[in-house]
């Protein structure tokens, strides 16, 4: 009997991934099915559904699920779920498909068929529907009115852009996963399925586990967060996104190298596990913080580290809105339907010259002038512009890797600073 936290939804890990003879037969059948092209975000979602990362989901959402998730943070059966997980189709694709059809889902970049789906429903996503989703999922406390939100969002919010550019129909239904794409080979030893992470935690005897979400290279603040987690939990799962980011963010393979060097030199090895997962960032701030906790529960995690501006972009969200949202969501009473993974809330962290060490707003009495404020955005901006980083901003072993990366770039991308990156 496992002592780990149970997967979300009360149904165990939902495995929709085929193997062996079953996989070969489905691959052969898929060649003759009508095909729908998936965006990179949809490809990551497909893998997470198939491997159990999005348990209890068995496929892409129906309109009832989509609408209830947007409005109430719940699936139509009353299970907590924070963000829509949908599959879009063009008018031509949708016109060629009727409910009950089986279809093949492929990645247009390489024509790889990654899954099949039995279509149970198709529904139109009008401009009004897309705007409704964006306002519910992406609008935070950083923009006080809907008008202010839309004034900025279509130009400056990559998650909003992603939704507004979706094809005009959604297809719903259970999936079968045929391929995890390049993730198992490109990120060998880092990319892992929920069952693999759970096996490692079981072998180590861990029960209380904190996850550190990373989309930036691991600077001193991240290191400090992970070490706080190690102090109060059995171990820390340093879990990096290896899907797509917005332009200007540092690619996954570079970030993985940075984490490797930190783990090797500055952590007790048996207290941390490094892993990667295949999603694209949605930049949904508080809602994405909830998603991170939800799927981390499926990986066996009990506590999700939530710090300053978690999963944020620009100034769309309040600095600690991703912490307070956990107090506002429904917690269904029926067994398995509530979110069990708890937030591990940590204040803004930094290096303080007077304290002579890492500290937070809760522990440091000194002024802003005494602090080296750490953020991934600030790090990217200074490195991209060839600027000199202040002492204690990052470990030299990590900065050497990042300097080498930026020196090799031919096209420079402007990195904009915002309030959460500067402390304003």
Q: Which of 136, 361, 376, 141 is nearest to 249 (CA)?
A: 376
Q: Where are the beta strands (DSSP E) in 32-187?
A: 34-37, 59-60, 87-89, 102-107, 112-118, 121-124, 169-177
Mean pLDDT of the chain: 93
Contact 49, 58 (CB under 8 A): yes
Q: Which of 24-33, 96-105, 347-356 has the lowest mean pLDDT?
A: 347-356
pLDDT of 44 above 80:
yes
pLDDT attached to residue 375: 66
Half-sphere CA count of 124, side-chain side, radius 13 A: 6
For the chain, list the domains and their CATH numbers.
20-125+166-181 (3.10.400.10), 187-424 (3.40.50.620)
Residue 383: pLDDT band with limits 50, 70, 90? confident
pLDDT of 97 above 70:
yes
pLDDT above 70 coverage of the chain, percent: 96
Q: Which two tokens stand for residue 308?
A: 């300053």
Q: What is the mean pLDDT of residues 84-93?
A: 98
pLDDT of 84 above 90:
yes
**Strand pairing report for 121-124 and 169-177:** antiparallel
DSSP 3-state assignment of 329?
A: coil
* 144-182 per-position pLDDT tens digit: 899 999 999 999 999 999 999 999 999 999 999 999 999
End-to-end CA distance of the chain: 50
Q: Is the pTM of this model over 0.95?
A: no
* 229-252 per-position pLDDT tens digit: 999 999 999 999 998 877 777 888
DSSP 3-state assignment of 152?
A: helix
Give catalytic residues, as residue numbers: 215-216
Residue 408: pLDDT band with limits 50, 70, 90? confident
The CA–CA distances, whole Å, from 318 to 51, 288, 308, 376 equal 33, 14, 9, 17
Residue 77: pLDDT band with limits 50, 70, 90? very high
pLDDT attached to residue 423: 45
pLDDT attached to residue 424: 42
Check residues 247 and 193 and name the one with the higher pLDDT.
193
Q: Which two tokens stand for residue 303?
A: 């506590």
pLDDT attached to residue 421: 45
């Amino acid at each position: 009997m496992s002592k780990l936290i149970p997967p979300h939804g009360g149904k165990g890990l939902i495995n929709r991934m085929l193997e062996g003879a079953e996989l070969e037969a489905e691959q052969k059948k898929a060649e003759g099915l009508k095909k729908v092209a998936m965006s990179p975000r949809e490809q990551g979602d497909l893998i997470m559904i198939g491997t159990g990362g999005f348990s209890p989901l068995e496929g892409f959402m129906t309109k009832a699920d989509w609408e209830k998730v947007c409005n109430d943070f719940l699936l139509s059966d009353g299970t907590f779920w924070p963000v829509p997980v949908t599959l879009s189709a063009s008018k031509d694709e949708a016109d060629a498909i009727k409910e009950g059809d089986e279809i093949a889902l492929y990645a247009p970049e390489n024509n790889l068929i990654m899954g099949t789906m039995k279509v149970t429903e198709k529904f139109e996503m009008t401009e009004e529907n897309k705007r409704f989703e964006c306002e519910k999922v992406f609008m935070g406390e950083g923009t006080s009115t809907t008008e202010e939100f839309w004034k900025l969002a279509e130009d400056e919010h990559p998650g909003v852009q992603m939704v507004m550019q979706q094809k005009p129909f959604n297809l719903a239904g259970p999936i079968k996963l045929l391929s995890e794409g390049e993730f198992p080979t490109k990120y060998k030893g880092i990319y892992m399925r929920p069952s693999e992470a759970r096996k490692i935690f079981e072998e180590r005897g861990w029960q209380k586990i904190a996850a550190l979400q990373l989309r930036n290279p691991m600077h001193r603040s991240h290191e400090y967060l992970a070490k706080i987690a190690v102090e109060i939990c059995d171990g820390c799962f340093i879990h990096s996104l290896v899907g797509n980011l917005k332009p200007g963010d540092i690619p996954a393979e570079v970030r993985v190298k940075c984490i490797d060097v930190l783990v090797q030199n500055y952590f007790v090895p048996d207290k941390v596990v490094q892993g990667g997962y295949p999603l694209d960032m949605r930049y949904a701030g508080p809602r994405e913080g909830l998603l991170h906790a939800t799927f981390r529960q499926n990986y066996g995690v009990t506590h999700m580290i939530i710090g300053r501006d978690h999963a944020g972009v620009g100034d769309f969200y309040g600095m600690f809105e991703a912490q307070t949202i956990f107090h506002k969501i429904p917690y269904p009473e029926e067994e398995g339907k509530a979110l069990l993974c708890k937030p591990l809330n940590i204040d803004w962290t930094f290096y303080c010259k007077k304290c002579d060490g890492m500290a937070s707003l809760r522990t440091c009495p000194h002024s802003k002038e005494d602090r080296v404020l750490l953020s991934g955005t600030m790090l990217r901006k200074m490195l991209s512009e060839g600027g000199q980083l202040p002492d204690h901003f990052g470990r030299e072993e990590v900065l050497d890797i990042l300097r080498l990366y930026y020196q090799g770039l031919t096209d420079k991308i402007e990195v904009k600073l915002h309030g959460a990156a500067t402390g304003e």
